[in-house]
Amino acid sequence: MFTSESTQYLQLVSRILIDGSEEANVLFRQFISQYPTPISIKNMTNAEKDKLIEEDERMEVLLAAIELGTMVVRSQAPLLGHAYSSQLLSTEMMDRLSGEK
């Protein structure tokens, strides 16, 4: 039984790999048999990645898309302004309210 995550995973991989040729269908099936879930990709070693690229250059596009997705998830918005700790903020507010700043 497929979950919504596994269905989405299969759809995304197929959108990248399948181009209508039988060769691409075989490539897709081989990839999914080796890496059936997103967590299996997460645990992929660099040696495994290199081997995939050696076997078929189309894998480089798939791996780049995965890397981009990882980068997007890990990215953070830049902090603008000054971040105060609660202690610094309370001291700053007391100084301002007492007219010392």
- pTM score: 0.69
2-30 confidence digits (pLDDT tens): 788 999 999 999 999 999 999 999 999 99
Distance CA(12)–CA(7), nearest Å, equals: 9
**What pLDDT is stored for residue 91 in this prediction?**
83
> Contact 28/14 with Cβ under 8 angstroms?
yes
**What pLDDT is stored for residue 31 in this prediction?**
96
**What pLDDT is stored for residue 16 in this prediction?**
94
**What pLDDT is stored for residue 83 in this prediction?**
65
